[in-house]
Structure 1
Amino acid sequence: MLDDRSAIEHHKYSRRLTELEKRSAAAQQQQNKRSPKTHIGNKIRGIRVKRYVFNGERVLKLVVLFSVILLFMIYIISPWSKVTTLHVTGNHDLTKEQVEKNTNIYPGRFIWGVYLTRHQLIKQAIHKNPQIKSLKVEVTGPQSLRISVKENALLGTAVINNDTYAVLADGQLQRTKGADNGIAYKRFDGHKKALATAATQLGKLKPAIRNGISSVSYQPTKEYPDRIIIYMRDGNTIYGDLNTIGDKMEYYPAIAASMKNKGIIDLQVGAYSYDYGSKDK
């Protein structure tokens, strides 16, 4: 009896195992239909192609990089890197030749040398010539530069102890050989500080007002120790304080327009005017 039961169970187990094997084989067959196997030879060829492409890209990048470096080195030592065009802008009193001489920048210099040392060249130019207030050097092309100049305006000249000085808008004095057509500063012998202060004040004025000044004379008194007298080209005379004249002279056009005759405008304390010879002061 036990042998019969064992035989029955063995038969059932064999039948289940057979069914499982059939199911597994069917599933494997269905999977093979969905995604057929790629031949190993094709895989190897694909890997080789990708490797060739990757190596080719690396070689191409290196060739381009070294070509650029080589061309740049050739450009640096070739005449193509020399300045052929130099533009100078912003200069009024200074000539282009003066700017070139003071900056040591001129056609024929290597452009890369100028650009790399531009800060040092600018400092040297400002030290050489006080008329140069600031400079800016820009590369505008493979062979062209632009120098932008901001000047200390040249106001006029002063003779101090038989030496002639150019008077600049920031109060600096620069030795010069001759007078120009600007403002003539008189009676400032032994008073360079007063001259510098007066020049700084007048340097604030708009060119339209400043260009109307013929001369400035330092004439202090006990009551007004900083008095200067300004003689205008239109015939008027201004009394002012050298410490405040730059601000008060801004009102000159309006005051002059309100005067019926030429006369004196007193800007030392307040602001009022009267005709020449008038006793109403």
Structure 2
Amino acid sequence: MTNEKYAVEHHKYSQRLTELEQRSAAARQRQKERKSPKAHVGNKIRGIRIKRYVSNGERVLKLVILFSLILLLMLYIISPYSKIKNIQLSGNHDLTRTQVEKETTIYPGRFIWGVYLNRNKLAKQAKQNSPQIKNITIKVTGPQSIKLVVKENALLGTAVINNDTYAVLANGKLQRTKSANNGIAYKRFDGHQRALAATATQLGKLKPAIRNGISSVNYQPTKNYPNRIIIYMRDGNTVYADLNTVGDKLAYYPAIAASMKDKGIIDLQVGAYSYSYGSKDK
């Protein structure tokens, strides 16, 4: 009887202990479930903080690089390394390097950034300062290097007007000069500057090979030919022409001269024909 009673009590105790262990396990499971979302939120917060640190670091690095570049640029602008050291010049024939530098105000020692920022204005001023400059292009080729590409109005010769000597340019403009060159001598144009400008513009159309063969041009209008000019060629021929059409007609001079047996006169005023000096004027 006693053994049976003990067995029953032992069974009840075992059941009780099993129930307590199950409750304890359930309680621990619930506790884990309650703690798990908190850990997940904590991980999220730590991830956000890390991203913020990285993003802020990138922003700071970009700002540092930007301000460093600005500082370097400012130091370059005020340093001797931003001054022009080399000037490359091309396209000039009659103009010298000194003249181009004077008219453009671009010279060694000037700040290169000032030239670059005002390049269009400097080119415009150069054309205004010198009629010989038809166009000029200013290029920056290095930290201290500039290239000037000049296009000239060709220097055709000289004319004396009111006792002053002028260089005659291919665009018809005049420029004071102290000495005559070996180009075309324009004569008897004193008081006829419009006629001189028209003649020079026409002769400026010619190829240099033909233009260089002209020794002098005389303005000699007549009643029948009020725009007549007489051209004396270096090969010994004489050309009568109209100052408004001479540029187009004189282009055929080489072919006409080649067909002549003797030196003589080529009349281009109306049509085109030639005759030797010994024959009767037509």
Q: Same fold judged by TM-score > 0.5?
A: yes
- Partner of 1:137 in structure 2? 138
- 1:168-199 deviations in whole A, cap 9, x for unaligned? 11111111111100000111121111111111
Gaps of 5+ in 2: 1-35
SS in structure 1 at match of 2:95: coil
Aligned to 1:204: 205
Measured in 2, the distance between the counterparts of 1:39 and 1:122 equals 71
Q: What amino acid maps onto 1:190 in structure 2?
A: G
Aligned partner of 1:78 in structure 2 is: 79
Matched residue, 2:92: 91
Q: For residue 213 of structure 1, what is the aligned residue in structure 2?
A: 214
Partner SS, residue 141 of structure 2: strand
Alignment correspondent of 1:235 = 236
Structure 1 runs not aligned, ≥5 long: 1-35
- Could you tell me how far apart the structure 1 residues matched to 2:162 and 2:61 are? 75
Tell me the CA shift for residue 117 of structure 1. 2.2
Higher mean alpha-carbon deviation, 38-47 vs 243-252, is at 38-47
User: Highest Rg: 1 or 2?
Assistant: 2
1:186 equivalent in structure 2? 187
Letter in 2 for 1:89: S
- The corresponding residue for 1:124 is 125
1:81-123: CA deviations, max 9, x gaps? Answer: 0001111111110011100011111010000111222233223
CA RMSD of aligned residues (A): 1.7
Residue 33 of structure 2: aligned partner: none
* Local SS of the residue matching 1:208: helix
1:128 Cα deviation from its structure 2 partner: 1.8
CA distance in 1, matches of 2:70, 2:281: 83
Mapped to 1, the partners of 2:176 and 2:76 lie a distance apart of 43
Deviations 1:31-86 (A, max 9, x none): xxxxx988444333322221111111111111111011100000000011000111
State the one-letter code of the partner of 2:237: N
Say whether residues 1:255 and 2:249 are aligned partners: no
Query: Could you tell me how far apart the structure 2 residues matched to 1:115 and 1:39 are?
Result: 61
| Aligned structure 1 segments of 4 or more residues deviating by more than 6 angstroms | none
Q: Aligned equivalents of 2:249 and 2:164: distance in 1?
A: 31
Amino acid at match of 1:274: Y
What is the alpha-carbon distance in structure 2 between the residues aligned to residue 50 and residue 188 of structure 1?
86
* Shift of residue 148, structure 1, vs aligned partner: 1.4
Offset at residue 280 of structure 1 (A): 6.3
Distance apart, 1:243 and its partner CA: 0.7
For 2:31, the equivalent position in structure 1 comes to none
Which deviates further from its counterpart, 124-133 or 74-83? Answer: 124-133
Counterpart CA distance in 1 for 2:68 and 2:118 is: 27
Matched with 1:107 is: 108
- What's 1:246 paired with? 247
Number of equivalences? 247
Separation of aligned partners in 1, 2:105 and 2:57: 49
Return 128-137 or 212-221, whichever deviates more: 128-137
Counting aligned pairs with the same residue, the percent is 77
Paired amino acid for 1:266? D
Q: How many angstroms apart in 1 are the aligned matches of 2:281 and 2:245?
A: 24
The equivalences for 1:23-102 within 5 A come to 39-102=40-103
1:210-265 CA-partner distances (Å, limit 9, x unpaired): 01111001111111111101111111111000011001011111111212221111
Instruction: State the TM-score, normalizing by the size of structure 1.
Output: 0.84
Query: Could you tell me the TM-score, scaled by structure 2's length?
Result: 0.84
